[in-house]
């Protein structure tokens, strides 16, 4: 494994005021958390083989000093194209100056995963549905009503730019419900209008499958069931923690999708990988009438974390986490 510098930094909305600058000469450990980054550093730094050759660089805080003709790899960890455009351009400039042996997750490819650009990135892939998305910047409630009317797809999701995990996101069935947003501040800091496609199954449940792409190979990670329209990892506690039959359903689905589904949809995942062009990223989707309904695809999803819950009900997920971890380590060590 070549020496690898993992680059991350503040989003466009986060303040970064370093009081000192550090040179990267040895192992520089940085514990600062930033929004919109690929959260793999805790795993990388916990592995003796990888950590011995890995250094964390906070752009704007750490200076990079390398020996002449040094051969290093760079791994761009910034994965949110919508909230970190300036940082992505900075990392692109660093890569151009250093000329690494390999640049993982090139910033210019991250822009392909912007919520508003993704429908164009993944357009016309057989077996793949990507809802319509438009970016908007209303300055007041009247402008919000106008952009929603012009979007014209009811029901629609209104989502704040640069937020994840369901924060600042609502589903509006009709225009009359827009009034619920009039007194809130977040719709006027940049939003996305997203076409809502009903993905409920015969039991009235929604589901979200996560597949992780590592070096072009898909790995299934989880399938969360929910009685809420917006399905998030934290939402396990809403329904699945109370209904073990859904845990068994997830366990059975994951085994089936790993053994057969990944092969059945191999052409779709291959095309998604080729169009996005990132080394490591996640795809969140549902299966609707045999087609993949894309929710998002980007490089700021969590997939190498530990088991959920305080008991062993999700122990079956450990094998899928290990699969992704092995793939990630193989990618880094061989480079």
Could you tell me if residue 268 is inside a domain? yes
What's the pLDDT at 27? Answer: 44
Could you tell me if residue 121 is inside a domain? no
What CATH number is associated with residue 156?
Answer: 3.30.1490.20
Give all strands (DSSP E) within 289-326, no chain letters. 291-298
Q: Six-digit token pair at 37?
A: 């980054």
pTM score, whole prediction:
0.92
Judge whether 67 and 37 are in contact, CB under 8 Å: no
Per DSSP, the residues of 160-225 read: ETT--TTTTEEEESSGGGGGGGTT-SGGGS-EEEEE------TTS-EEEEEEEEETTEEEEEEEEE
Domain boundary residue among 171, 195, 219? 195
Mean of pLDDT values over 45-70:
92
Could you tell me if residue 128 is inside a domain? no
User: Domain span at residue 276?
Assistant: 199-334
Could you tell me if residue 122 is inside a domain? no
What CATH number is associated with residue 285?
Answer: 3.30.470
Asked whether the predicted pLDDT for residue 323 surpasses 90, the reply is yes
pLDDT (tens digit, 9 = 90+) per residue, 267-307? 999 999 999 999 999 999 999 999 999 999 999 999 998 66
Give all strands (DSSP E) within the chain, no chain letters. 4-8, 22-23, 54-58, 62-63, 73-76, 102-104, 128-129, 133-136, 156-160, 169-172, 191-195, 206-214, 217-226, 280-288, 291-298
Judge whether 97 and 23 are in contact, CB under 8 Å: no
Radius of gyration for the chain, computed over Cα atoms and rounded to the nearest angstrom:
21
Where residue 163 falls among pLDDT bands split at 50, 70, 90? confident
75 and 169 fall within a common domain: no
Could you tell me if residue 28 is inside a domain? yes
Where residue 26 falls among pLDDT bands split at 50, 70, 90? very low
Least confident of 17-21, 113-117, 238-242: 17-21
Could you tell me if residue 248 is inside a domain? yes
318 and 225 fall within a common domain: yes
């Amino acid at each position: 494994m070549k020496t690898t510098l993992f680059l991350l930094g503040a989003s466009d909305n986060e303040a970064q005021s370093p009081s000192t600058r550090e040179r990267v000469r040895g192992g520089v450990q940085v514990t600062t958390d930033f929004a919109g980054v690929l959260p793999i550093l805790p795993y990388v730094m916990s592995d003796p083989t990888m950590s011995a050759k890995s250094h964390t660089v906070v752009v704007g805080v750490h200076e990079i000093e390398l020996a002449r003709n040094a051969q290093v790899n760079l791994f761009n960890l910034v994965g949110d194209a919508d909230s970190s455009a300036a940082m992505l351009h900075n990392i692109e400039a660093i890569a151009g100056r250093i000329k690494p042996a390999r640049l993982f997750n090139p910033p210019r490819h991250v822009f392909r995963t912007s919520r508003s650009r993704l429908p164009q990135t993944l357009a016309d892939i057989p077996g793949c549905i990507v809802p319509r998305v438009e970016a908007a910047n209303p300055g007041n409630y009247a402008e919000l009503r106008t952009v929603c009317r012009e979007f014209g797809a009811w029901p629609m999701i209104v989502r704040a730019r640069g937020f994840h995990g369901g924060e600042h996101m609502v589903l509006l069935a009709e225009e009359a419900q827009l009034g619920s947003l009039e007194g809130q501040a977040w719709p006027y800091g940049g939003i996305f209008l997203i076409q809502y496609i009903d993905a409920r199954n015969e039991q009235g449940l929604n589901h979200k499958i996560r597949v992780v792409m590592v070096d072009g190979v898909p790995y299934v990670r989880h399938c969360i069931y929910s009685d809420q329209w917006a399905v998030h990892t934290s939402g396990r506690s809403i329904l699945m923690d109370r209904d073990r039959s859904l845990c068994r359903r997830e366990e059975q689905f994951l085994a089936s999708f790993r053994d057969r589904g990944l092969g059945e949809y191999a052409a779709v995942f291959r095309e998604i990988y080729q169009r996005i062009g990132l080394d490591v990223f996640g795809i969140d989707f549902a299966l609707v009438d045999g087609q993949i309904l894309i929710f998002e695809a980007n490089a700021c999803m969590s997939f190498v974390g530990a088991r959920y819950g305080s008991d062993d009900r999700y122990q079956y997920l450990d094998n899928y986490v290990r699969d992704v971890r092995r793939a990630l380590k193989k990618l880094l060590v061989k480079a």
